[in-house]
């Protein structure tokens, strides 16, 4: 079966993005567990991500009425990228006294990521 070139590019890009998302989530869970030694704290990571994406999916249609979709998607992805770099460079600074700040950043990343994960029929 011959696939359309654009579809192949989209499929490849989405596959790499999904692999990156899984690696990001697993690495954050591992970091929190190693830092705290608490499985409950580590289990809080997927909860924060899912909750933030739920809120974002509820708010995005309201934002789409006010802002251009192209700028909304671009802004959310630029913000997500900046926060991911900030999280990556800030990881060595996390300790038991301030690891909860990581949950805040993870929530913001998921909130921005939820803006880009809208069903295509909107």
For residue 118, CA distances in Å to 7, 28, 48, 53 come to 19, 24, 19, 10
Judged against a pLDDT cut of 60, whether residue 120 lies above it is answered with no
pLDDT tens-digit map of 107-116: 999 998 888 7
Average pLDDT over residues 91-109: 89
Average pLDDT over residues 93-110: 89
Residue 36 neighbours by CB distance under 10 Å: 15
Instruction: Give pTM, 2 decimals.
Output: 0.82
Q: What pLDDT score was predicted for residue 50?
A: 92
pLDDT tens-digit map of 47-95: 999 999 999 988 888 888 888 878 888 888 899 899 999 988 988 888 8
CB 102 within 8 A of CB 28: yes
Q: What pLDDT score was predicted for residue 103?
A: 92
pLDDT tens-digit map of 22-45: 899 999 999 999 999 999 999 999
**Long-range pairs of 37-42 with CB within 8 A, sequence gap ≥ 24:** 41/99
Q: What pLDDT score was predicted for residue 76?
A: 87
Q: Can you say whether the dihedral through the CA atoms of 44, 110, 99, 20 is positive or negative?
A: positive
Judged against a pLDDT cut of 80, whether residue 3 lies above it is answered with no
């Amino acid at each position: 079966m011959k696939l359309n070139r654009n579809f192949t590019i989209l499929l490849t890009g989405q596959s790499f993005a999904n692999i990156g998302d899984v690696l990001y989530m697993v690495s954050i869970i591992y970091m929190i567990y190693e830092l705290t030694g608490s499985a409950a704290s580590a289990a809080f990571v997927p909860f924060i991500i899912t909750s933030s994406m739920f809120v974002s999916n509820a708010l995005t249609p309201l934002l789409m009425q006010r802002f251009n979709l192209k700028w909304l998607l671009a802004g959310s992805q630029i913000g997500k990228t900046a926060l991911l770099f900030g999280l990556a460079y800030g990881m060595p600074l996390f300790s038991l006294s301030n690891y909860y700040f990581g949950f805040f950043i993870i929530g913001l990343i998921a909130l921005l990521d939820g803006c880009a994960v809208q069903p295509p029929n909107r």
